[in-house]
């Protein structure tokens, strides 16, 4: 019964991601997105009540993709294998950290759906956190991870490292190896 969409939801979310990263949360708006997609602004309102709803829907979409990948960490039994897998996965999903960092800018009172979405995001975040905490716990148990450092610092440290800007455009595989080395053993030689 329905007419075909001019723009698929995937394409819409992809463009949303690009514009959010390019202009920041408050620089992003319906006018900009509609222009970029060559549709009218009013068309967007057929699918989302407002910007907050669109962005939180988008975030849930991204977070689900990310979590689906993270969950596969359970296919690996020892810490070293988990570390390799996790690092590669998070490198592929680099942008999600910056995207999720925008959550605090969302005006959540705007509507019921937005409130519910933010709640859902919180849950997904906690879900993710549980997997990662389990990973850290295993590392500490196997004596592979520095035991006296808090889980929060360790996880924040990993996440943050993917946001290091590669201004000089070092080739991805090389960049990847360097970041992994830094996260693993730090910047100082072991003669310290």
Give residues in contact with DNA (CB under 7 A): 1-7, 29-32, 38-43, 45-47, 49-51, 110
Q: Find how far residue 111's CA is from the centre of its chain.
A: 24
Within 3-143, residue ranges assigned H as helices are 9-27, 30-37, 41-47, 51-71, 79-92, 95-100, 112-141
Residue 55 C-beta: closest distance to DNA, Å? 11
Angle at 76 between CA 74 and CA 79, to 5 degrees: 105
Identity of the residue, 68 or 147, whose beta carbon is nearer to a second copy in the bound complex: 147
Using CB under 8 A as the binding rule, whether residue 81 contacts a second copy is answered as no
Identity of the residue, 113 or 144, whose beta carbon is nearer to a second copy in the bound complex: 144
Tally Cβ neighbours within 10 Å of residue 110: 15
Using CB under 8 A as the binding rule, whether residue 145 contacts a second copy is answered as yes
Burial of 104 (C-beta count, 10 Å sphere; 0-12/13-18/19+) = exposed
Using CB under 8 A as the binding rule, whether residue 60 contacts a second copy is answered as no
Which of 43-51, 56-64, 112-120, 176-184 is the region at the interface with a second copy (rule: CB under 8 A)?
176-184
Using CB under 8 A as the binding rule, whether residue 27 contacts a second copy is answered as yes
Using CB under 8 A as the binding rule, whether residue 31 contacts a second copy is answered as no
Residue 48 C-beta: closest distance to DNA, Å? 9
Angle at 30 between CA 9 and CA 19, to 5 degrees: 70
Using CB under 8 A as the binding rule, whether residue 190 contacts a second copy is answered as yes
Residue 125 C-beta: closest distance to a second copy, Å? 11
Cα 63 to Cα 89, 92, 119, 154, distances in angstroms: 13, 13, 13, 21
SS3 label, residue 165: coil
Binding positions for a second copy, rule: CB under 8 A: 23-27, 83, 105, 139, 143-146, 149-150, 152-154, 156-161, 163-168, 170, 175, 178-179, 181-192
């Amino acid at each position: 019964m329905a007419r075909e969409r001019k723009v698929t939801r995937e394409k819409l979310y992809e463009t949303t991601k690009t514009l959010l990263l390019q202009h920041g949360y408050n620089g992003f708006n319906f006018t900009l997105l509609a222009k970029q997609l060559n549709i009218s602004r009013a068309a967007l309102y057929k699918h989302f009540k407002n910007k907050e709803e669109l962005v939180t829907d988008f975030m849930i979409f991204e977070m689900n993709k990310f979590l689906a990948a993270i969950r596969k960490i359970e296919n690996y039994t020892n810490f070293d294998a988990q570390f390799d897998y996790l690092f590669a996965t998070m490198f592929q999903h680099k942008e999600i950290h910056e995207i999720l960092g925008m959550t605090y800018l969302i005006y959540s009172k705007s509507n019921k759906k937005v409130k519910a979405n933010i709640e859902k995001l919180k849950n997904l975040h906690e879900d993710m956190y549980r997997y990662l905490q389990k990973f850290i716990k295993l590392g500490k148990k196997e004596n592979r991870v520095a035991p006296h450092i808090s889980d929060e610092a360790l996880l924040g440290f990993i996440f943050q490292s993917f946001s290091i800007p590669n201004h000089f455009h070092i080739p991805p595989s090389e960049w990847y190896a360097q970041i992994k080395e830094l996260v693993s053993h730090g910047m100082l030689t072991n003669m310290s």
